[in-house]
Structure 1
Amino acid sequence: MKNKNFQVEAVTNHIVMWLKEYATQAKVNGYVIGISGGIDSAVTSTLCAMTGLPLLCVEMPIHQEVSQVTRAKEHISFLKAKFNNVQSVEADLTDTFESLIKAVPSSQSEYLLNLTLANTRARIRMTTLYYFAGINRSLVAGTGNKVEDFGVGFFTKYGDGGVDLSPIADLMKSEVRQIGEYLQIPSSIIIAKPTDGLFGDDRSDEDQLGASYDELEIAMLAHEQGAKTDDFTGREKEVFEIYSRLNRINQHKINPIPICIIPTSLL
């Protein structure tokens, strides 16, 4: 799926200026970002590097699948070859993750245990990014796209969802890819199957979601236009049902945290 009306260069420049102005107004030095080997973190980190502000790229392996580590290192090398404001650090969190597992009880449900441990990985990484952001007086840049953050809620609350700002959260996955091609991101990253890398294997986002991002984009646009399940047949109906279900059950992540407002009569 490709948006033919998408103004790649103009959008790229807009995000870079937005990032630069935000950091300047916040009076911070620059940005910190986790590098996963995926297209979203590759594009976001390149946009951050283009600001000219200091950028720290952080690798945070936890029993990581080899191809993900290889792509992450390839992208960091790509950035350092193009920008002199980029530095990198590796924080191997495998032992930290294992220590936490030993300190907490297990679960009788293997499904719930695996899902909880996957989210725990993301939250350990979030804490690590904020450590590096703190000692460098920098902000944590998020890497979520529009479908993930506002469509199906495919992120971990207070994990990869715990960031200071989201540069690409108004872009569909296909638009992120277009920017990646424009920025000449390594092709191995552009063509790689998207994965959250939270299970220590090579399962893709599509394996978990049951639909590709291109399919989910179509469903998201239809949903926003008020479409109903009965408007579709076959695979399109199946994907629309997947999107609608995930959008419904993940509203607790998509919407701001609810606040219990106390009536003035009780104050």
Structure 2
Amino acid sequence: MEFENKTIVITGAAGIFGRWIAAYFAKEGARLCLSDVRMDGLERAVSELGLDRSKVLLHATELTSDASMLDLVDLVKREWKAPDILVNNAGIYTRFSLLDMDIADWDRVFGVNLRAPFLLSREMAKLMIAEGKAGSIVNISSGASRKMTQNGVPYCTSKTAIDRLSKGFAMELAEYGIRVNVVEPGFAPGSEVSELSDDYVTNMLKNIPLGRSSGPMDAPAAIAYLCSEKAGFITGATLAVDGGNSIGTYKRPERDAAKAG
């Protein structure tokens, strides 16, 4: 097991991608610190995934609260001294016209999607440095960082910014052997927070060149690779794991559209 007893912090761990990431690393022998604003969601994830509770820490983290995030950092410091890996997975997507969007909503998107990864990366990196750990940080972004969507400007902008922030951390942490990379997962229906209609899912699948949605092994395997010794010379990189969805506009040939539907 490649990550036997490695310590891994995952934010947004009660969501669909967070669960998949947690399940993957648990199978590889890692010890997990699962963070989410919903403690009941974390408890349910532990139960439904059949995780070894003795190897799991849980923290209800409000990612717009500095005090809450620093409490998460303190928990990790008390229990592990420092993590080996941080996965900034949590993110929120809101649909607003810029003309109608309230400043508080704008601030929340950037608080969760950008400010929280900055603060957690900074503080967890300090723990790694103090313990002499050549750790790894992976920030979860999106193909939306390169492609603007109508009424999705705040999300797209925050993801563009997280890409740049990741490169900045990669430069500054390189001297300590800490690598920072980005993974862009593909479309994955099934979120409890943002439910999608069947028609929406069908239309989305038609736009993905490889013709399917993201599965439970896709993004986690890419994250694990970037955190592994195999990727020891990779930092500041962005890896799209989206079936080609972010390449550009794609219209599925008629013969394939019927299959995808």
User: Quick check: which one's helix share is greater?
Assistant: 1
State TM-score, norm by structure 2. Answer: 0.43
Structure with larger Rg: 1
- Structure with the bigger RCO (C-alpha within 8 Å, sep 6+) is 1
User: Quick check: which one's strand share is greater?
Assistant: 2
